[in-house]
Structure 1
Amino acid sequence: MRGVRRLRYEERALHRRSRPSTAAMTRAARQEVLRESLHGSDDGPDALEQLGEEVSYRRASLPERTFRRLRRGRFRIEDETDLHGLTLDQARSQLRAFIAEATARGHGCVRVIHGKGLRSGPRGPVLKTGVQRWLARWDEVLAFVSARARDGGSGAVYVLLRRRR
């Protein structure tokens, strides 16, 4: 390493992490609102319940006994998908394809791993809330609950699917 010399402090280039501009963040927020309005709202008889980190959702037509079995982890997990590291759009399309394929194969219960969102900052767990919103809207989904601790806890959900006729 001949001919190499150490840079003096004042000769060094300082690099800062770039943050999205306020305009870009506002644009993203507007797009999310538009997406919400196009795909309907979550309000209705089948309400999403959240108690701390735990989440549960049940269609009114699903018997309470079946829902209790799901909450206790009594269904066999027939397939799973992991959405860690994906953007919202990527996660939505992967989850949509996964649910469609699982339903086509006749799976009754699947696990979706979305992560806890601990590094999401002030907005909270973006992927986790997105997954819950999407699942509650799709007709193939009868119910979902936070997984048991051994299966991912609040970073994953068990999803009970409608059987294919």
Structure 2
Amino acid sequence: MSRIARSLADLKPLASELAAARLAAEAERERVAAALRLAEQERRVFELSVGPVTPLRRMDRVMHDLAQPAPEPRQREADERAVLLQALSDEIDIESLLETDETLSFRREGISLEVVRKLRRGHWALQAQLDLHGLRRDGAREALSLFIHDSARRGLRCVRVVHGKGHGSPGREPVLKGRVRRWLVQKNEVLAFVQARACDGGAGALIVLLSGSA
């Protein structure tokens, strides 16, 4: 075989490889083009489903940043309410803590008799009142505890607690009178209390002096 014939024979495999490469490249281009068409269809799926759409005309608008309401510490308030309620006992003996005068007044250790006298005379103006009429024991205990706690937190100094004279109770005995005294003695915010003057409720109410007022 001549040299030229042998050269042509050697080129045939190369030509076959080049043809195969061209076919593979063409197939790859077709695959890429098909993938791009599919991606475009997916991107425009909404438009292709509903038909041609017209963009809304842009309008100048002012967006206001609305202030979010402050979170309410409901769990903390519930916990505090539970602690306040549990802290007041009906069983505590307060006889030794009361002054054996005509109204059985109370003053915490370190509070002078003069403070009690001023409280009885109305030296401090009444700043708030709690009326316990119509409440049962547990309701009255919780209401009183929250009232004293809130009054002290607000910086109030002198408040009145109305427990009633017992005219509407069985036996005409004041149901809450003794309990209110026991509960008040257990409140650290209470410095002293006396029976109210006749003009302020008499035997049906107590005038209470809170921390910081002496």
User: Do both proteins adopt the same fold according to a TM-score greater than 0.5, normalized to the shorter chain?
Assistant: yes
Cα distance in 1, alignment partners of residues 99 and 174 from structure 2: 16
Verify the 8 A CA contact 2:161 2:208 in the aligned structure 1.
yes
1:41 equivalenced with 2:93 (yes/no) = yes
CA offsets 1:92-119 (integer angstroms, 9 cap, x no match):
0000000000000111110011110123
Aligned to 1:8: none
SS in 1 for 2:106: strand
Report the Cα offset of residue 48 of structure 1.
5.0
Unaligned runs of 5+ in 2: 1-88
Cα distance in 1, alignment partners of residues 178 and 193 from structure 2: 13
1:85 equivalenced with 2:122 (yes/no) = no
Cα distance in 2, alignment partners of residues 92 and 73 from structure 1: 26
1:155 equivalenced with 2:204 (yes/no) = yes
Q: Larger strand proportion, structure 1 or 2?
A: 1
Aligned to 1:98: 147
Verify the 8 A CA contact 1:42 1:137 in the aligned structure 2.
no
Verify the 8 A CA contact 1:145 1:159 in the aligned structure 2.
yes
Match of 1:63 among 104, 112, 119: 112
The alignment's TM-score, normalised by the length of structure 2, stands at: 0.54
Cα distance in 2, alignment partners of residues 137 and 48 from structure 1: 16
Report the Cα offset of residue 43 of structure 1.
5.1
Verify the 8 A CA contact 1:83 1:114 in the aligned structure 2.
yes
Cα distance in 2, alignment partners of residues 84 and 50 from structure 1: 26
Verify the 8 A CA contact 2:106 2:194 in the aligned structure 1.
yes
Q: Larger helix proportion, structure 1 or 2?
A: 2
Unaligned runs of 5+ in 1: 1-34
Q: How many residues are matched?
A: 125
Aligned to 1:133: 182
CA spacing shift, 1:47–1:55, aligned 2, 3 Å: closer
CA spacing shift, 1:123–1:151, aligned 2, 3 Å: closer
Counterparts in 2 of 1:103-118, with a 5 A limit? Answer: 103-118=152-167
Q: Percent identity?
A: 45
Verify the 8 A CA contact 1:49 1:57 in the aligned structure 2.
no
Larger radius of gyration: 2
Cα distance in 1, alignment partners of residues 100 and 136 from structure 2: 25
Cα distance in 1, alignment partners of residues 107 and 100 from structure 2: 9
CA offsets 1:22-69 (integer angstroms, 9 cap, x no match):
xxxxxxxxxxxxx545xx43255x335463xx3311113102211110
- Runs of 4+ more than 6 Å apart: none
Ranked by relative contact order (alpha carbons within 8 Å, sequence separation 6 or more), the top structure is: 1
Cα distance in 2, alignment partners of residues 49 and 88 from structure 1: 26
Cα distance in 2, alignment partners of residues 99 and 139 from structure 1: 10
Cα distance in 2, alignment partners of residues 135 and 48 from structure 1: 14
